[in-house]
Amino acid sequence: MSKDILHIGQIKYAGADSDQALSFKHYNPAELVDGKTLKEHLRFSIAYWHSFRGTGSDPFGVGTISRPWERGRDAVSVALKRADVAFEFFRKIEAPFYCFHDRDIAPEGRTLRESNRNLDRVVAHLKQLQRATGVKLLWGTANLFTNPRYMCGAATNPDAQVFAYAAAQVKKALEVTKELGGENYVFWGGREGYETLLNTDLKREQAHLAAFMHLAVDYAKQIGFQGQFLIEPKPKEPTKHQYDFDVASGIAFLKTFGLDRHFKFNIETNHATLAGHTFQHEIEVAAAVGLLGSIDANTGDTLLGWDTDQFNTDVKELTLAMIAILRAGGLGRGGFNFDAKLRRPSIDLEDLFHAHIGGMDTYALAFKLARRILKEGKFEKFVADRYATFDIGYGKDIEKGKSSFKTLEQIAFKLGEPKPRSGRQEYLENLLNSYLHRG
Ligand code: XUL
Ligand code: CO
């Protein structure tokens, strides 16, 4: 492996009482929990686009972050150098995975063929780096939203030629993801939606999107790609309306078009809140139908109306999310991908380390708290008791489909007015706090 470039060293676990800022307080990668290390449980992943392509630009201003390794005239050589630095970072921050869009890792060429050649050169290098460090690819995806050709969508573009171009791009992205042993492949439909219904055939666009996904599934089968396909819902931005609005509409889409056997969900915190839901809600909706796949770990800002992609340090929000994830049996081959970026004035390399340390520590703490809460089972017991009338007698018959309005009418006549029972929300909120804030 090449010499270290970053001036910050290995991040080590120092414990909750440590005052060393550049150390883990809760994420001890080697800690054994039920026979697996925390590193194996949490499957943290670094988002290449934010951490190694992000410049701090926003709609009002140009980039503020400049990294020395980004200098050079040949874009592919810069991409190779950048990959070295990225892997040094993955190693030092103890992240076992990374994720990318095709255009994050290699520059787009003047033609599709040239873009593919650029990718091949960088992918060969990434493969070596993966082998040397043990860092793996959590998922790959294709950027079908930056280039102007996709301004009216990729799979939902009104022009079949754009559909074909996008298909060619995803074909290559699948090949590359397979080549690098990617465990998943993500579809985030950034421009798969509309700006105005005045120029849009909504029914046709949704059918085209489904056709595109079926083609991807078919091609994956052809080349022997075994990864899990994931849909990442987001309600809007950049489009006014995105077809994968939230998990519930994603489920309807997958089931309508016979795709639910092939896809699960990659749920992003900031996308959940943009859709008017909590993170926990989106996880539970996916888990309820067995379609929880992976997490894009970030958060928004309640006072800003867009996708701010911040690192999440909210212990309560993540503990609730972790409870839902653990209850669903975990993420399987998914993981926690930090789809989060530095604030525009956070221009130092050190900030990149602080950001990930905070995200990883908060998730690790939430994981431990959620395990304790589930082990003690107080919430589980409360909820089970609340539905206990459905465990026996006519309640059980309702759940088993053995009931009818006629028999239920007889029960209602016989039993009369049901006795109201408190939902105990305030008690439960206090109970949650007793775990989060043990003095
Ligand atoms: C955009 C977003 C994407 C996807 C991958 O909001 O979350 O970065 O995660 O395309
Ligand atoms: Co995302």
Q: Name residues with Cβ closer than 5 Å to ligand 2, which is an ion.
A: 268, 296, 339
pLDDT band at residue 226 using 50, 70 and 90 as cut-offs: very high
Q: Is the CB of 188 under 6 A from ligand 1?
A: yes
- pLDDT (tens digit, 9 = 90+) per residue, 50-85? 999 999 999 999 999 999 999 999 999 999 999 999
For ligand 1, atom 10, the nearest C-alpha belongs to 188
- pLDDT (tens digit, 9 = 90+) per residue, 324-338? 999 999 999 999 999
Cα 366 from chain centroid? 17
Q: Is the CB of 341 under 6 A from ligand 1?
A: no
What residues form DSSP beta bridges with 230? Answer: 186, 264
Please say whether the beta carbons of 187 and 229 come within 8 A. yes
pLDDT at residue 439, as a whole number: 66
Contact partners, residue 112, CB within 8 Å, separation at least 6 = 165, 168, 169
How far apart (Å, rounded) are the C-alpha atoms in residues 323 and 280? Answer: 9
H-helix segments, 156-278: 160-179, 202-223, 247-256, 269-274
Substitution candidate for ligand 1 out of 97, 185, 234 with most atoms within 8 A of CB: 234
- pLDDT (tens digit, 9 = 90+) per residue, 111-126? 999 999 999 999 999 9
Q: Is the CB of 268 under 6 A from ligand 1?
A: yes
Q: Percentage of the chain with pLDDT > 70?
A: 99
For ligand 1, atom 3, the nearest C-alpha belongs to 188
> What is the DSSP secondary-structure string of 326-376?
HHTT--TT--EEE-----TT--SHHHHHHHHHHHHHHHHHHHHHHHHHHHH
Is the pTM higher than 0.85? The answer reads yes
Ligand 1 atom nearest 50 alpha carbon:
8
How far apart (Å, rounded) are the C-alpha atoms in residues 262 and 215? Answer: 12
Copy the structure tokens of residue 203: 């029914």
- pLDDT (tens digit, 9 = 90+) per residue, 335-349? 999 999 999 999 999
Q: Percentage of the chain with pLDDT > 90?
A: 98
